[in-house]
Amino acid sequence: MSMVAVPATADHLPVPASGAAPVVLPSGEPLPGPVPGRPRRGTTTIGTMLFITADAMVLATLCAVYFAIKEGSAAWPPRGVQVGTYIPTMITITAAMSAFSVQWGVWAARRNDGRNATMALILTLFLGLSIANLEWLTFVRSGFGFNDHTYGTMYDLLIGYHLLHLLAAIVVVLVLAFRVLAGHFTVDRHDALRAGAVFWQYSNVVWFVVVSVLFLASRHG
């Protein structure tokens, strides 16, 4: 009688009954045997990735409306609108740096190196707050309002959508930094940290999409 192995760490998995009979199909051939349970890690990370999939569809919807309106417009961006590339470039560089710093945090926590992990996450937070600050500056300095034209609306919506993710990611990383300090993560258990890093990276991806749409693919007419 083959028993099914239950991994010791998976406290949520019910213990299978032993002693069930080997099952034979009416044709006489036995059914394929049981597949041993595998320890399933990364539940939070997979959940985060699925959430990101849905979230990316919202971003895609915003971009679709942007391009649809752009195609129907005579001049895009509208006359008189000057969007500089200096601040967006700075944000892009900062976002790229934060991508490395947050990953440094995960790798450090994986080695049980709490000191490096804390430093990396604090650096990430600092970079994130810098991006938020620069983004606020783009709103203030853009020279047009939310309702002046549809370009202004889409500009604010797209950058605002990234700002929303950035602020959420900052809260997540802040909590994770405290959890690192509290010693919650070990070599074996750092799923939440990985999930947080994945969300941070996604927030960067949102920025790269937004900057491509608004500044690289914007000239028209």
Partner 1 sequence: MTDTEVEEAAPRGPEGPVVPAQVLPEAWPKGTDHKYIGSLFVVAALVFLVAGAVLALVMRAQLTTAEAEIVGDRTYRQLFTLHGTFSVFLFLLPVWLGLGSAIVPLQIGAARLAFPRLHALSFWLFLFGGIMVAAAPALSDVFHGWTLSDPIPVRLGLRGQGPDLLLLGLVAVCMAAVLVIVNLIVTVLQLRAPGMTLRRVPVFSWSMMVSGAVLLLALPVLIGAFGMLFVDRHYGSSLFSGFTGSRGGNPLIWPRLFWFGAYPMLWALLIPALGAVSEIVATFSGRRLFSRERASVALVGIGVLSFAGWGTEVTTLHRARPLFILGGLLVLAPVALLIVNWLATLRVAGKEGDVAALRRRFAETPMMWALGVVPVLGLGLAASVVSAIDAGRDAHVTYWQTGQQHALFFGAATIGALAALAYWGPKLWGRRTSDGLAKLEILAIVGGVLLTVLGMLLLGVQDMVVHTSTFDSGDDWALGNMVVSAGAAVVGLGLLLVLLNLLGSVVARRGARAGADPWGGQTLEWATTSPPPAHNFDALPEIRSDAPLLDLAIGRSSSAAADSEGA
As measured in angstroms, the least distance from the Cβ of 206 to partner 1 is 13
Nearest to 115 by CA among 174, 181, 193: 181
Q: Does position 8 bind partner 1 by CB under 8 A?
A: no
Whether the Cβ atoms of residue 150 and residue 73 lie closer than 8 Å to each other:
yes
Which amino acid, residue 80? G
User: In the window 66-105, what residues touch partner 1 (CB under 8 A)?
Assistant: 68-69, 72-75, 78-79
Q: Which stretch binds partner 1 (CB under 8 A): 40-48, 104-112, 176-184, 207-215?
A: 40-48
Work out which of 24, 168, 216, 217 binds partner 1, going by CB under 8 A: 24
Q: What is the CA radius of gyration of the chain?
A: 24
Work out which of 29, 82, 147, 219 binds partner 1, going by CB under 8 A: 147
As measured in angstroms, the least distance from the Cβ of 123 to partner 1 is 30
* Structural tokens at position 150: 């549809």
Q: Does position 139 bind partner 1 by CB under 8 A?
A: no
Q: Is 96 left (phi over 0), alpha (psi -120 to 50) or beta?
A: alpha
Q: Does position 186 bind partner 1 by CB under 8 A?
A: no
Q: Does position 32 bind partner 1 by CB under 8 A?
A: yes
Owner of token pair 């049980």 = 112
